[in-house]
Structure formats: structure tokens, C-alpha cells
Structure 1
Amino acid sequence: MNEVSDVQTMAGRGLRAHVGTSDILIGNVALLGENNIAIPTEAETQLQEWGQRGFPTMLVARDGQTIGAFAFADPLRSDAKSTIAALQKVGISELVMLSGDNARVASSVASAVGITQTRADLLPADKVKAINALLSEHKMVAMIGDGVNDAPALATATVGVAMGASGTDVALETADVALLSDDLSKLPFAVALSRQAKSIIRQNLWISLGVICLLVPSTLFGLAPLGVAIIFHEGSTILVVLNALRLLRFDMGHSAK
């Protein structure tokens, strides 16, 4: 068996390697075009047919000549559609899919899961531009990804979320939030939980400030004995802690109602 060496990954394009004495390229049409490698007519016809059926495609070239093409299918996660619906239910109304696949494949996947906006044929730099464009329209943008191609966009977004189990090291290191499993249902739960936490923080601030504003004047003007003021202050501290502990019993379904 020939030894494989000098493997180079080209983000959004494919990879290059030496197998024995041969120079091998495996990637998309753009990769072969950049290397001035012609694509036979029959291969182009087959690529178009696969593309119309919604399959991502790749080409294989050896020593400057195209020697093969293949299509593959990346099956949708079983919980993808329900997760999108759950995100919309908690108020995430604008969802955009950023994909490195061609427009036909991206539209097919987006339609299957209920996403209406897609941006296809994106390189990592293009995803960053897309995030910046969304940031110019909206003050805050969250980006969810798991691969090397997603890392720059994850860093650019207001909040970057990486899928833990399937995510690459680069994506995990770049993201602000790393989900420890591939369970997509955790996404809407995380959104709902963070909103509940923010609400409880505000409640606790109002409780603390309210008690202080009440006790300080009362104590200074002698309207309340110091001992009573201390009891009320410590009692408010206990109340704040108990209020925060409600997060341990947080139930997304009950909260949504």
C-alpha cells in the first residue's frame, strides 16, 4: 500500500495529499478550477444530476487529471426540525443557515427543517462576512457550528455556540458556549434557561435595592430598631438565595406556558 504524506486541508475546498509519487486532490469544483484541472463533460453532467437531487459532490484528481467523482448524503439529525420549531417558540424568529454546500443542497436542507433563509457556497471568510452583515442589521447574533470552517464565524458572532461531542477542537476553543453533547434540544433549553436566569437576576436586584432603600432611612431616622433592620436585611438575603435556587427546578415547558 502506498504511503500517504503531506496532507493539506483547504477550508471550504477539500484536501491535497501525496499518495506514493502521485499528487492527489479531493474536493469541489472550485478546488480543481484553482489548480487548472479540467473536468470531463461526463463528470460535469453527473455532478449536475447529483446536484439537482440535492447531494453534495466531490471530485478526485491525480497528477493534474480528473479521475473520479462521487456524491454523498449527510442525513439530517432526527431532532433538527423539532429543535428549529422550539427555537422559534422561544422567540428566535429569524434563523439563517450558512452553508458551504451549493445553493440547491442548502435550500433542500433548509426547507426540510423549516429554515427560510439560506446563504450557500460560503468559505470561512464568507461566513464571517455574513455574520457581520447580520450584526449590522441586528445588535446581537448567535452562531452555532461544529467545524473548522465555522470557527472564524463563531468568534465574530455575539455568542458562538459549539456542538461539544462532534465539534472540532478549534470550534470548541473559539466558541463562547460549548454544548457537552450532540443533543440539539439543548439549544432552545439553553436560550430559555438564560432568559429565566436574567429575569431572576433582575428580581434579586430589585429585592436587594428595595430592602436597602427601605431600611437605611428607617434606621437613620429611628423608625426601625437596628435589630429589626438586621433581621430584615438578612431575611432579604435568604429570599434572594431562595429565588435564585428556582433555576434548579427550571422547566422549559412550564416556562413556555
Structure 2
Amino acid sequence: MKKGEHAWRRVMAWAVHLLTASGAVVGGWCLVAIHRGDYRGAFFGMVLAGVIDAVDGPLARLARVKEVLPQFDGAKLDDIVDYLNYVVVPIVLIQAANLMPESVSIWIVPFPLLTSAYRFCHVSAKTPDHFFTGFPSYWNILAFYCYVGRSPLWFNAVFILFAAIMVLVPIRYIYPSRTRILRPLTIGLGILWSASLLILLWQLPDPSPSLVAWSLLYPIYYTALSFALHWRLPQEGARISSKA
């Protein structure tokens, strides 16, 4: 490899890591927005963080960052940023926006923080056949629906506690961009779903109840497909894991 080409590849690899790290900056902006009571702005920030998370992985593989910069652990950086944006930021918003009864929220908030921290650090958090193990800490999505759906506070509290428990239950959930089974359908529906979320964000503080209801079809599809594949392919997942 020529010296100039090697230098260019290093620049590209560092650029990908910088993109990943920028998600932490976005997470900081979200926390500031929450402190100011700008929940709409915080949700837009979470969307931006999700976009960064969606593109940095493919770019990292394209730039071969592990090969070019073996001394830098991009996976660890990604986990740190993801924990901030998918766990800390939405849980802080849930607490700040009073989306649970005040009498119990202080006791429930630690559960998602602790269970997600455990799962992020577990070696089986992502399986070799590209599944997440346990509820994938989509607290940003859960916080969004608690906010726009205007569901009863007690229901939010029960569901958040239930989801925190499901983080620890070793059910495999699909990785939308990498799980091969029905991937085109999953990605296509995911794009439509993302568009509906952006419309709902734009409509705040008065989102369309019917659009909220229709948008729930994708999370239902995602969960149903994950459960179906978990019970349909248990031996395949175990076999691949045993070879890792």
C-alpha cells in the first residue's frame, strides 16, 4: 500500500470515529434541551443521534476502521454513545416531563439505567447472527410514545418497569439493518415509520392521535417478528454462537 493511500485511509477511519463521537455531543444538546423544557427539541436530537448511529456502522465497515486503526476501540465508543442517547437521555426526559406518577417514578427510573448498563456490557448483547439479546434498550422510542400518546401515567410506569425486566430476558430481537431474514421489508417499513415519527414531532404539541395509532404498527411488527424468529431459530442461533 502506498504511503499516501495509507494516510488517506487513516484520515477516513478517524473521520468515522469522529462521526460516532459526535453522537455524544448531540446527546449533550438533548440534555440541555430537556433542562430547558424543550422536549420537542430533545426528541429531534434523539432522531439525529439515531441517524448517526445508523450510518456510522456501515461507514466503519467500509473504511475498515478495525484494520486501519487497531489501537482504537470504535465498538466501545459506540456503546458509550448509544448508552447516553438510547438510555440516559430518554430516561431523563421521562422523569423531567413527568411521564410517570411522581410517587413511583424515582423508584422506577433506576431499573432501566441499571438493566441496560448490564446488557450493554454483556458479551451476548449482540449475537454472531446479528440479533440483539434482550429488549434492545429502545428507551427513546418508549419515551416518545409515552409523550405523544398521552397514555395514563400508571400505564407508563408499569410498561417501563416491564421493559426494564425484558432487557434481562434473553430473547433475541432483530437488528433491523443486519438481520437478514425479511431485511428489505423491515428496512422499508422502518423508513415509513421514521417518516411518521418526524411528522408527529412536527405536529407537537398536538400530534394526530390516528397517526400515533398507525405508527404503532411498526413496533408491533418488529416485536412479533423478533419473537417468531427467536422461537423458530433457537438452534441456529446457539450453533452460530458456539462457533464464535
* TM-score using structure 1 length: 0.25
Flag the structure with more relative contact order, 1 or 2, with Cα contacts below 8 A and sequence separation at least 6.
2
* TM-score using structure 2 length: 0.26
**Greater strand share, 1 or 2?**
1
